[in-house]
Amino acid sequence: MTILVTGGAGFIGSNFVLDWFKSSDEPVVNLDALTYAGNLENLAPLKDDSRHIFVKGDICDRALIDQLLATHRPRAIVHFAAESHVDRSIHGPGAFMRTNVEGTFSLLEAARAYWSALQGDAKAGFRFHHVSTDEVYGSLKPEDPPFAETNPYEPNSPYSASKAASDHLVRAWHHTYGLPVVTTNCSNNYGPLHFPEKLIPLMIVNALAGKPLPVYGDGQQIRDWLYVTDHCSGIRAVLAGGALGETYNIGGWNEKANIDIVKTVCALLDELRPDPAGPYSRLITYVTDRPGHDRRYAIDARKIERELGWRPAETFETGIRKTVAWYLENEAWVARVQSGAYRDWVSQQYGD
């Protein structure tokens, strides 16, 4: 028994792989192209673990995918690999179309060929688990109920449009070809190993360096926040028991305005690493809002609780404290990411 994970050196993927081995000895074949956000150092605890098989490669490489499926014969594919930063998608949408759309298509076609040749229990038990985002649903008004799985898709950025396209492909491959798929749409993740271009790690890193804490617009954009290991447990629950062809929203039940997130981070840093120059909130700087910035996301996660018994274990208060503490304890990791030295991990540990 083996699973194939794509994008398993990224933020959520590496947390999933590390978390997987806390409760399972089932091997993981981990495929990652190691673009800027893929960091093998995230997986350092598994360097000498025979259960973890790392393969550097691109999900658009159909021949490689076919080879991995034929060699390792996984019972499931868990598909994390994606370009995911909205700002980057605005400035360079092409990479998002290639990875998120073409890459998912390549995986689906490889999975379909592999699954079609399986027999008996192996065929019946195979799963293609597609990991997506709440951003495909667009933006909510303050009075709107949270996103349910039945909400229409209304993506507003190149990133969310590319993920919406991939969701539609996964659905179509199930309905047209019978491929046994499940899809999860998550809210904003946070926690350890998060690349410091996203809101929470950026605020921590900038604050510690005495740099401005940039807040878009008025800072009242609202997101639902999900601690990354809660997301991992939700994925495991859906992979194990989710109904074929169904979508499950995974959320943290934590709607927070961006400015409140930043102020919370500042307050925790004031407590855990006080700055002689004064409160970190003095560094908050409002900047011009980004184009097409969605105002509010919120996830209704009642379906996964009702059908699979899943709820997040962390509150935002417990999760954000763990997150800030992790960054304070792992400043060397942050420094290597910021300098680009984390890429040396590949050549040092694995060769070219």
Rounded to two decimals, the pTM is 0.94
Model confidence at 333: pLDDT above 90: yes
Confidence of residue 198 (pLDDT cuts 50, 70, 90): confident
Q: Which residues pair with 216 in a beta bridge?
A: 287
Q: Would you call 135 a catalytic residue per the annotation?
A: yes
Rounded CA-CA distance 254/226 in Å is: 7
Given the residues 41, 135, 230, 314, select the one marked as catalytic: 135
Cα–Cα distances (Å) from 308 to 126, 224, 302, in that order, read 19, 21, 10
For 8-12, 37-41, 221-225, which range has the lowest pLDDT when averaged over its residues? 37-41
Given the residues 114, 137, 149, 159, select the one marked as catalytic: 159
Confidence of residue 342 (pLDDT cuts 50, 70, 90): low
Q: What pLDDT shows up at residue 347? A: 56
37 or 317, higher pLDDT? 317
Residue type, 311: R
Nearest to 188 by CA among 147, 242, 244, 128: 147
Residues 101-134: tens digit of each pLDDT? 999 999 999 999 999 999 999 999 999 999 999 9
Put the strands of the sheet holding 255-257 in their side by side order: 188-190, 222-227, 255-257
Given the residues 134, 230, 255, 294, select the one marked as catalytic: 134
DSSP secondary-structure letter at 224?
A: E
Q: What pLDDT shows up at residue 110? A: 98
Q: What pLDDT shows up at residue 116? A: 98
Domain locations in the chain?
3-350
Q: Which residues contact 107 (CB under 8 A, 6 or more apart)?
A: 6, 59, 65, 77, 79, 128
For 36-40, 127-131, 186-190, 347-351, which range has the lowest pLDDT when averaged over its residues? 347-351
Q: Would you call 134 a catalytic residue per the annotation?
A: yes
Residues 235-290: tens digit of each pLDDT? 999 999 999 999 999 999 999 999 999 999 999 999 999 999 999 999 999 998 88
Please give the CATH architecture assigned to the domain spanning 3-350.
Answer: 3-Layer(aba) Sandwich (3.40)
Q: What pLDDT shows up at residue 290? A: 80
Rounded CA-CA distance 183/108 in Å is: 13
Cα–Cα distances (Å) from 118 to 92, 106, 111, in that order, read 39, 19, 11
Residue type, 116: S
Handedness of CA 103, 52, 242, 313 (dihedral sign): negative
Residues 80-107: tens digit of each pLDDT? 999 987 888 988 999 999 999 999 999 9
Q: Which secondary structure element, helix H or strand E, spans residue 272, and what is its range?
A: helix 258-272
Q: What pLDDT shows up at residue 87? A: 82
Rounded CA-CA distance 27/75 in Å is: 11
